Amino acid sequence: MKYIGKFKVAGLLGKGGMGKVFKVEYPVTGKIGALKLLEPVPLLTTLMGEKGVEDLFVAEAVTLASLRHPHVVEILDFDRFEGKPFYTMGFYSNNLGALMGESYETERPSRVIKIERSVGYILQILDGLACLHDRSVIHRDIKPFNILLDDLDNVKICDFGLSKLRNETFHGHASLKVGSPYYASPEQEKDPDGVDETADLYSVGVMLFRMLTGKLPEKKSRASELNSDLDPTWDDFFDRAMAFLPGHRFPDADSMAEDLKGLCLAWIEKKEKFCSVSMDWLNETEPFQRQIKVRHLPEKIPRARAQKAFDLDSLMRPRQILPKHFKALGSDLVKDPETGLVWQSSGTRFPVNWKEGCAYVQRLNRERYQGFDNWRMPTAAELLTIISPLPKGTGLCLEPVFDLRQHWLWSADRATFTSAWYASLELGFIDSSDLSSYYHVKAVCTPPGL
């Protein structure tokens, strides 16, 4: 087993131009963390020299260590291994880019996230940026993949390799300072050393636009035309957030957050008024006329086969979603008459890793929870039967039969030896994640005789 210093390497999480990020185990406790090791690509070393690259890496660590905020990733340790510097951070298996389904072909469509959740994420990001900007730190590379998500959906801003102090000049190769295409502000490409806080706010505007519409903003695109739940006041917000000239944007993160809170409050009031109208027909569904069989035995399904095996689109959503006829049974049971399956409405009280999820199901059986002793962790195929498309219009008025506090759900299906499939009940997609990740479990069972 490979070690980096005292840390046991448990896998590779990612790599970039400056280095690699590993999943590691701490000695004695076995705590899982993330370790970033300086291993630059040859081109970067050629452009900047070994010392220049190392100085940049160390500067990133120093910047992180100087910040203390719940929405900024925290550096835990710094050391060297075989002469190479590294630092450790908390382990977060999810990020906003993965949640949105953004690929490295950035211009491809992404998943739409509902308004309240999108705004919740963005307000956390703006709160973190307010801390950075108060300390005169400008990030310059705000994008979905640099926004980590913890077990409770709290964001953590990461990757400070391109950050700068206000009025600081970086004497490196120009290509290292621009940021990410589509998310970087217009002035950042021409004068990266001259940007101010509004460059980060521009990037936040692009992110929110994409979260709400599934598309990148274009010159003539209007958010209200791409998402019918948005009205022209949202267009005004985006016009200011993504203004070409920095002086026409929000002056700081707090003012942008206040405007966004007002928009979200107006949306919630509009939705409540809309749904207060008597719409009994919303709860009327046609009687089901079929009984479908769903695979209940766990399988190992590699990512390369997942779309075909699960019949998913390119964003890992089911191609066909059948009407739902769920029936609530008592306080914590939901029956699906079409599959014959009985589900927990809730599930684990707190997020758990995959192994802990298996133990939770065993405990339900020992206790004969709700009178059943054949509970199991659902397969991904079974989870797909309770997924619904993102609600819009009148669909927003339907009360969910499942407790959505448990909306990230483990499946019993493996993707690899070290990862398993999970589902987002709220956003309607499945993906794979490391077994050390933390999600909820909603157990399922088949009543005797079915």
- Domain borders along the chain are 3-90, 94-163+181-274, 303-445
Binned at pLDDT 50, 70 and 90, residue 288 comes out as low
**Mean pLDDT value of segment 35-48:** 89
Yes or no: say if 121 and 144 are a contact pair by the CB < 8 Å rule.
no
CATH pick for 303-445 out of 2.60.40, 3.10.100, 1.10.3470, 1.20.1740: 3.10.100
The whole-number pLDDT of residue 320 equals 87
Q: What pLDDT does 176 receive?
A: 55
Residue 443 β-bridge partners: none
The pLDDT tens digits for 351-361 are 999 999 999 99
Q: Which pLDDT score is estimated for 157?
A: 96
- The Cα 57–Cα 38 span in angstroms is 7
pLDDT confidence of residue 287: 54
174 three-state secondary structure: helix
Beta bridge partners of residue 146, listed in sequence order: none
Answer yes or no: is pLDDT of 32 > 80: yes
Q: How many CB atoms lie within 10 A of CB 425?
A: 21
- The tokens describing 317, both together, are 């959503």
Contact 421, 301 (CB under 8 A): yes
Of residues 105, 183, 122, 208, the one with CA closest to residue 157: 122
Please determine whether the domains at 3-90 and 94-163+181-274 fall in the same fold group of CATH: no
The pLDDT confidence band at residue 281, using thresholds 50, 70 and 90, is: very low
Name the CA radius of gyration of the chain, rounded. 24
pTM of the predicted protein model: 0.91
- Terminal CA-CA length for the chain: 47
Of 211, 70, 192, the C-alpha closest to 141 is: 192
Q: pLDDT grade, residue 278 (50/70/90)?
A: very low
pLDDT digits (tens, 9 = 90+) for 326-353: 999 888 999 999 999 999 999 999 999 9
Q: What is the DSSP string of 347-415?
A: --SS-B-HHHHHHHHHHHHHTTGGG-S--BPPPHHHHHTT--PPP-GGGGGSPPSS-TTS-EEEEEEEE
The closest of 32, 25, 31, 20 to 6, measured between CA atoms, is 25
For helices 197-213 and 253-276, what crossing angle results, to 10°?
20
Cα 317 to its chain centre, rounded Å, is 15
Q: In the predicted model, what is the mean pLDDT of the chain?
A: 90
Q: What is the Cα–Cα distance from 51 to 46, expressed in whole angstroms?
A: 11
Q: For residue 292, what pLDDT is reported?
A: 83
Query: Do the beta carbons of residue 209 and residue 202 sit within 8 Å?
Result: no
Range list of H helices, 2-158: 42-65, 96-100, 115-134
Architecture of domain 3-90 in this structure:
2-Layer Sandwich (3.30)
In CATH, 94-163+181-274 is 3.10.20.30: no
What is the distance, to the nearest Å, from the Cα of residue 210 to the centroid of all Cα atoms in its chain?
A: 13
